Amino acid sequence: MPSNARNLSSFSSVKTINDISTLALRQSSNENKEAYNSNSMYVDVFQDSTGITNLTNCSRDSSEFISSATAASFASNNSTLITSMTQIYNFDNAVTDALGNQDLINSGVTFNSSTKKLGTHSAYFDGGATTEFSYDDGSGSADVPHYFNSFPPSALSMSCWVYWTPNNNNWNMILDNYHVSDANKRNVIFAVGNDDSGTSYHDYPSIYSDTGGTVWHSASQAVSHSTWTHITWSLTTSLKRIYINGVERLSQSGSFGFDSTANDDGRIGGRASNGSFQYRGYIDQLALWTRELTATDAGHLYNSGSGNAFTAATANASGSFESNAITSSASTSKMGAIITYQDNSGTNALNTDIVLKLSADNGSNYSTATLVAMPDFASGIKMAKVNNLSVTSGTQLKYKLEFANQSLGSKEARIRGVSLQF
């Protein structure tokens, strides 16, 4: 047999089509292209949502994928505010961290559905000696390093809404890092009200460190009683800032001695071993960051007084979406496709957890594909194909992708791209 004949016999048009489809997906990804089609191919990497329709229990993420899971997010300015956030508590009748990092231990705090700022409830502290949230059972076994990804951080910030009804002339603790055996390391991090050396009473948001006995407080604006006020505290090892209702009220240099000893005891609404410093009133949407929050961040959180709602991550067990119809120049009875996808959590089984269907009659009839795994498209991005799938003849071509068995944190598929062949 002549060598050219042997070469022709080994030539596969399917392989070539798959290679071209893969290259088209790569080019679209690299160039961040919108959905487009040629005479025999359609490509979408979800740069926007113009190429998809009929999304059921799934959504397109701004990071350019489609999933039945929805990431935790703020209602507005999410990409800015979510950075380096470690915990957020909506206090909607629960002590759950909406990021899933660290729930609280509740000692006597109740939840109120009538006096609230965001969501369904706020947390109410009655000022009692032991009414507080903690990260600890009192033994010191669960300490500050447990609620920050790394400690001590180079920066630490917190924000919350307060409806303050003080009942004493002393500190009302919002967040306290208390060292149970070393008085020089009892860092009352964030509070409202202080006795300012024991002689005069102030209604100011404050930052305090027992290490050196240093107080930083917002003397330019007090916190009104019995009304919702948004406070943002932000500190680094060299600079302290306090924002009230989105406006900077303190910017002051000074060192703050973060402590990482395992005997630390983290509390919200009180101070360990000292019932005189308990907070009284309501708190809503309390969040922590291991970075310095800016004036812009504080303004976004305050949001002109309306607040900025935060929604926890969710995952629908099943979902689906379709492409818009692509018009073919001739009637089509065979179709193929390549998809790129990511196992964000767990391992998604092709044809079970991820199901592809193709149609040539505008979705009136779908044929279910048997996807076959291909070599990875990129690091962490998988790829699968189907070739020459028989479909009901027509000129209006569509694909449909279905999710099944999805579960937050254990099985989450992300569809990254589709190249439709016809």
Whether residue 45 is found in the same domain as residue 130: no
Q: What radius of gyration do the chain's Cα atoms show?
A: 28
DSSP string, 45-86: --SSSTTEEEEES-EEETTTEEESEE--EESSSHHHHTTTEE
Q: CATH code at 217?
A: 2.60.120.200
| Residue 371: Cβ-neighbour burial (10 angstroms; 0-12, 13-18, 19+) | buried
User: Which of 255, 284, 311 finishes a domain?
Assistant: 311
**Alpha carbon separation from 410 to 167, 344, 345, 348, 399 (Å, rounded):** 47, 9, 5, 10, 27
Angle (CA) 330 333 334, round 5°: 110
Alpha-carbon distances, residue 249 vs 200, 217, 243, 314 (angstroms): 20, 9, 5, 37
Same-domain pairing of 391 and 376? yes
pLDDT by residue (tens digit) across 32-47? 888 998 888 999 999 9
pLDDT in tens, 100-155: 888 888 989 999 999 999 999 999 999 888 888 887 544 444 444 444 445 556 78
* Nearest of 16, 22, 9, 14 to residue 418 by alpha carbon: 22
Structure tokens at 9: 């016999």
For residue 41, list its beta bridge partners: 421
Final residue belonging to a domain, choices 311, 339, 354: 311
**Boundary (domain end) residue, out of 254, 283, 311:** 311
Task: Give the torsion sign (CA, 83, 141, 206, 279).
Answer: positive
* 85 and 19 housed in the same domain: no
Q: Quote the distance between the C-alpha of residue 312 and its chain's center.
A: 7
For CA atoms 95, 97, 100, 101, give the dihedral sign. negative
Q: Which helix (H) or strand (E) holds 6?
A: helix 3-10
Q: What per-residue confidence (pLDDT) applies to 16?
A: 86
DSSP state, residue 361: B
- Please check whether residue 22 lies inside any domain of the structure: yes
Identify the CATH number of the domain in which residue 389 sits.
Answer: 2.60.120.260
Mean pLDDT by groups of 10 residues along the chain of 422 residues: 39 78 87 88 95 96 93 92 93 93 89 97 92 66 44 79 82 75 62 57 71 68 89 87 93 69 69 74 94 95 97 94 95 96 97 98 98 96 96 97 96 97 92
**Alpha carbon distance 129, 82 (integer Å):** 34
Whole-angstrom CA distances from 256 to 11, 149, 259, 289, 404 are 70, 19, 9, 16, 50
Whether residue 166 has a cis bond before it, omega within 30° of 0: no
Is 276 within 8 Å of 166 (Cβ atoms)?
no
In a domain, 1, yes or no: no
Tell me how many domains the chain contains: 2
18 and 97 part of one domain: no
> Of 315, 328, 404, which is closest to residue 361 (Cα–Cα)?
328
- Do residues 375 and 351 touch, judged by C-beta distance below 8 A? no
**Element containing residue 4 per DSSP (H, E):** helix 3-10
Instruction: Please report whether residue 208 resides in a domain.
Output: yes
CA distances for 368 relative to 269, 329, 355, 359, angstroms? 56, 23, 8, 9
Residue in the structure block whose two tokens are 């040629």: 38
d(CA 369, CA 357): 6
| Residue 77, Ramachandran bin (φ over 0: left; ψ between -120 and 50: alpha; else beta) | left
What would the two tokens of residue 98 be? Answer: 């909406």
Beta-strand pair 247-253/319-323: unpaired
Q: Which residues does residue 60 pair with via DSSP β-bridges, in sequence order?
A: 66
Q: How many CB atoms lie under 10 A from the CB of residue 330?
A: 8
The C-alpha atoms of residue 82 and residue 289 are separated, in whole angstroms, by 9
**Domain carrying residue 338:** 12-69+316-421
The answer to whether residues 49 and 99 belong to one domain is: no
Label residue 214 exposed, middle or buried (CB < 10 Å: 0-12, 13-18, 19+): middle
Yes or no: say if 308 and 76 are a contact pair by the CB < 8 Å rule: yes
Q: What is the pTM of this model?
A: 0.75
Do 221 and 290 have their domain in common?
yes
One domain, residues 252 and 276: yes
